[in-house]
Chains A and B, each alone.
Chain A
Amino acid sequence: MSLVYLLLLPFVGGVLAAVIALKSRTWAHAVMMIAVVAMGVIVGIDFGVTGAAMASASGGSAAASGGSLRYLLETNAPWIPSLGISFHLGADGLTFVLLALTVVLGIVSLVASWRSTREHEAFYLLSIGLVISGVTGVFIAADLILFFLFWELMIVPMYFLISAWGGKGRERAAMKFFLFTQASGLLMLLSMIGLYLAHGSSTGTYTFDLAALSSWSSGAAASVPMVLLFTGFVIAFGVKLAVVPAHAWAPDAYAEAPTAGSILLSGLLLKSGAYGLLRFSIALFPAQTRQIAPVMLILGVITILYGGILAIRQTDIKRIIAYSSIGHMGFIILGLFSWTTLGYTGAIVMILSHGFTTSALFFVSGALEDRIGIRDIDGMGGLRKVVPRLAGAGTAFLVFALALPGTGNFLAEFLVLTGTFQVDIPIAVLGVVGSILSVIYALRAVHRVFDGVRKGEGKAEDLRAHETVALAALAVLVVWIGVLPGPVIKAAAPDRAAQLQTTVPYLGQGGGNG
């Protein structure tokens, strides 16, 4: 039942906050924050309890008969039996890691929205609540149609967030975002239905349940229809993850979205693409995924390099962060498709670390925009003198983003590239080149924005207490993941992840003499 609460809390919180917002802005924000924090508490308790139980039970009973998945928590109720759709939610270690990320970023996005005023505050809070709810649903859905429902639930309110409260080019950016993700999502829906029909005609049971479908399809003979179905999923997730060349919607969306929108977009929505690849593509079509891996590795490294190079000459600070973000997604792709435990672990660490780093960067850029009114780095300069704490935070997170050892970003990149190196040396070397590019754009941004002498006039106030706390917490999280990744690695280990364990033999060796 608690999984349902996780879905309901942000949604109900959003509705309540929307109602209260008509009267009092502060209370509305408070209510929303309480809802998200409560969600976090539940996640923490659940994971603590079930994780302990998991750990004490023998981890060796991986002799899962077809279809039995090792969820830590599960909720299953029939919904539309005639169509084989069930209300099936499931959470394993990986899910909890992602839910933790969701809660943290939800809180950060609310802190970022705290002070700036906007029109239609009620609708704004409702949209945020729906986005968080949708993302949560995506992470815990274990039924294909349910997954698709939450997928859509993520997209629509985000469209409104961008188009109603965004920057100058918001209409276009929102439309692009919506069209890209919706079109690819519909392809995914087609594939889902196709899979449903194929499974049904082959086994006689018509169901959309992930467990049943994956145990059937992973064993099914490879054939052209299977490849087509697989393609539908991959395209949807690839577009969501902003893999080059399907990335075109992302820079605009990031740049024009309001700060909270950018945080949720970069930190969560894109990760749902990675999650989808992991949970659905790999689990449902392991053989095809294996086949396509070399292509994906190439696309991954192209994404890293393309994102890096494009970030270098941008003048809009949010676009720099956007392309940087796209580059980091490339590492996730490399990690997942290197098919090594090293790479997979690196991808998970990157999901978390990049989420923290990029949301902090958007937080900083949002704070800058609030205070100076521009996003153009050519118009900035000398801000270290004017807003030293903000400058310190900006420098720190840009330095984290360029993968300073000790941070999660570095650990992730290192693990990913070490794993990829064992599979494809040239690609790993190109990946390292990508890390050189990140130094160039990050230092350029720091130099243009913070060094030198102030061009404009006007005072700007430094970070307030709550902003400092939020950024400090994010910094601690980034370093914590870099230095003590143990809990995260154990929680998300492939042999623990429900589907992966039964269908995907991730290479156990990180290389070496074995």
Chain B
Amino acid sequence: MIWIIPLLPIAGFLVLTVFGRRSPWQFSAGVGAGTVGVSAVLALIAGFTLASLPAAERSVVSSLGSWVVIPGFSVNFGLRLDALSDLMTMVVTVVAFLIHLYSTAFMRGKGDYHRYFAYLNLFVGSMLLLVLGSNLLVLFVGWEGVGLCSYLLIGFWYENPENGRAANKAFIVTRIADAALLVALFLTVAAFGTLDIPKVLASASAAGGSGIVTAIAALLLVGAIGKSAQLPFQLWLPDAMAGPTPVSALIHAATMVTAGVYLVARMHIFYALSPGVQLAVAIIGAATLLYGGLSALTQHDIKRILAYSTISQIGYMFLGLGVGAWSAAMFHFMNHAFFKALLFLGAGVVIHRLNDEHDIFRMGGVRRTDRLLFWLFMIGAGALTGIPLVTSGFYSKEAILESAWLYPHAGPFFWVIGAFGVFLTGAYVFRLFFHVFTGKPKGEGGSRPASAIFYPPMILLGLGAIFAGFLRTPRDLGNVKVISSFLNPVLASQGKESAGISTEATLQIIVAALSLLGVLAAWLGYRRSLKRRGTEAVTGHELSVGGRFLLSGMGADWLADNLVVRPFMWFAGLLRRDWLALVYVGVGRLSVLFHQALRYTQSGLIRWYLLGIGVGVLVTLGMVVFA
């Protein structure tokens, strides 16, 4: 019966594909949101049931039958609901349901309504297959499925070719990373003879720190960072903002991009056994969180700021995984899903109200038109920054940084990076906040009314953004361990003694101060830009060289274009003519040549023929006489 959870949205997809075009919009809305809603309810029921079970029994396996059975290899349609997959399932379905609700209003008049909900349903179904899969092949089906839906939804407004290009970029970059994931699957089959996750994990433990385990860990990591838009595969995510905003909220913030985090967490034994690769995870996480934060500082497209923010926050999750804080990383994932979705949905309302304006320098004073949105967005921004004590972001970042400090390989160094990231986060998100919500409205005005349906989902997300944090608090602040004990059977954390309470408290205070400093820096920067530019709209030309560099994502697109894309397309263009086939053309020409040559023997001149006969007779006689 666990199978109902992913199958229901997939059924929704099929129904909408066949019947959607000719049905009224309410049908699409109903089917789309309904299937996900039911799945969400089922997921929550399953979650609470699971939580009430003793730790040892906290998993349920359900199989729909065998998929491939050949001598030596078999794989089935298996789903496994355990603490980790259940946490993800609950978050995915609930957030997806809220976003579906929001979309029923948002997407009216913005394109093929039924197609949107069909794709979104297929996405949710695939994501659920991904997290619930009990073997790596089912996981991979979900993995590619979400990639496909991401592609379909980024390019949803297909009339603008730019959107299609962004969609292609996303798919191709992630497919390159997925190639590594596939090789990891081959290696797993070759080494362990199975793709069943519990069996693979058990075999890996038995195998210890062998080269194969390390290789698989590394390959899985490459696949994970592609899907999760970490360095160096991050360049597809900012462009993916071309899709409708609810899509950005769901796929490119809360769920699909966290699939990499899930994969590493699920296969954490491989990383625990390969300290080198785990260090790489931490390094990638730390580098990416800096990269995302710095790049976000200069962006002026509201969604791009949030996109780089997502890249950065997932960097935190990878940092958490890298330092062995598995459940802390998952905790941050959950909170991030709430506040990032809230921020994106809020941005969607802003964009909608301002007639599809995306540039924050052309916005302003939204507080006056939409008080509720102002507060909701502030909650989201605060949670993202990690405003101390009252936001979930504070607690989850704290959990990660706490473990980072204790990491045996240069822990404090990673802590410093993470702490600096908190400062950056406050700075970039409140920069956005001040430019959009405070001050006087800048653009030509004219506000499109926002539907009432936008708000309930955001309110619920806001509540999550505040209260979900209390599921795990540090030792000196209540020592709540709900999340970690829930996840413990699956993700026993890599044991380390904790630092003393006073060290912890000091570190917390520093980070809290940094978050507030970030907000302050944003405020000061905003005031300065107001003074300099008055009320005119500002474009990116005002940036310094350094600023422009950050604006371009540190030249990532330029690098990818010139180092990879252009040379490759040039090479493919060289081969456009089928050179190997020219050999045969040569053969053909040679035959024609012979033909031309031999034609001359058909000259029509009798004396030539008589000569030929004569010579032939002489040769034949000679052969007879001398043989």
Do A452 and B189 touch across chains, with their CB atoms under 8 A apart? no
Q: Which 3 A-B pairs have the closest CB atoms?
A: A512-B193, A510-B73, A510-B72
28 pairs from A and B in contact (CB 8 Å cutoff)? A245-B583, A247-B580, A309-B572, A312-B569, A341-B71, A342-B70, A399-B148, A405-B144, A410-B144, A421-B187, A422-B190, A436-B172, A443-B151, A443-B168, A447-B167, A451-B164, A452-B160, A453-B159, A485-B67, A485-B68, A486-B68, A489-B68, A508-B72, A510-B71, A510-B72, A511-B72, A512-B189, A514-B193
B584 at the interface (CB under 8 A from A): yes
Inter-chain contacts of A251 with B (CB < 8 A): 578, 581
CB distance from B61 to the nearest CB of A (A): 20
Residue of A nearest to B169 (CB): A443
In the complex, chain B residues 130-157 whose Cβ is within 8 Å of any chain A Cβ: 137, 140-141, 143-145, 148, 151, 155
CA distance A232 to B143 in the complex (A): 45
Interface size on B, residues (CB 8 A): 55
CB distance from B246 to the nearest CB of A (A): 21
Inter-chain contacts of B622 with A (CB < 8 A): none
Do A345 and B165 touch across chains, with their CB atoms under 8 A apart? no
Do B172 and A248 touch across chains, with their CB atoms under 8 A apart? no
Inter-chain contacts of A421 with B (CB < 8 A): 183, 186-187, 189-190
A4 at the interface (CB under 8 A from B): no
Inter-chain contacts of B176 with A (CB < 8 A): 436
In the complex, chain B residues 443-484 whose Cβ is within 8 Å of any chain A Cβ: none
Knowing A447-B161, A489-B68 are in contact, say whether A404-B183 is a contact too (CB < 8 A): no
Inter-chain contacts of A411 with B (CB < 8 A): 68
CA distance A511 to B189 in the complex (A): 7
B3 at the interface (CB under 8 A from A): no
CA distance A435 to B175 in the complex (A): 9
> Chain A: residues with CB nearer than 8 A to chain B?
176, 180, 244-245, 247-248, 251, 306, 309-310, 312-314, 341-342, 345, 382, 384-385, 388, 392, 399, 404-406, 410-411, 414-415, 417-418, 421-422, 428-429, 432-433, 435-436, 439-440, 443-444, 446-447, 450-453, 483, 485-486, 489, 493, 507-514
Residue of A nearest to B68 (CB): A485
Do B172 and A447 touch across chains, with their CB atoms under 8 A apart? no
CA distance A483 to B70 in the complex (A): 15
Do A342 and B73 touch across chains, with their CB atoms under 8 A apart? yes
In the complex, chain B residues 161-198 whose Cβ is within 8 Å of any chain A Cβ: 161, 163-165, 167-168, 171-172, 175-176, 179, 182-183, 185-187, 189-194
B420 at the interface (CB under 8 A from A): no
Do B580 and A244 touch across chains, with their CB atoms under 8 A apart? yes
CB distance from B400 to the nearest CB of A (A): 32
CB distance from A241 to the nearest CB of B (A): 15
Do B193 and A309 touch across chains, with their CB atoms under 8 A apart? no
Inter-chain contacts of B569 with A (CB < 8 A): 312-313
Partner of B172, one of A314, A443, A514: A443
Knowing A310-B578, A411-B68, A510-B70 are in contact, say whether A405-B172 is a contact too (CB < 8 A): no
CA distance A436 to B222 in the complex (A): 15
Do B72 and A451 touch across chains, with their CB atoms under 8 A apart? no
Do B72 and A248 touch across chains, with their CB atoms under 8 A apart? no
Inter-chain contacts of A248 with B (CB < 8 A): 578, 580-581, 583-584
Do B575 and A310 touch across chains, with their CB atoms under 8 A apart? yes
Knowing A411-B68, A451-B155 are in contact, say whether A306-B580 is a contact too (CB < 8 A): yes
Inter-chain contacts of A486 with B (CB < 8 A): 66, 68-69
**Contact mask for chain B residues 360-394; partner A; CB cutoff 8 A; 1 contact, 0 none:** 00000000000000000000000000000000000
B158 at the interface (CB under 8 A from A): yes
Knowing A486-B66, A511-B193 are in contact, say whether A451-B158 is a contact too (CB < 8 A): yes
Do B155 and A436 touch across chains, with their CB atoms under 8 A apart? no
Do A405 and B140 touch across chains, with their CB atoms under 8 A apart? yes
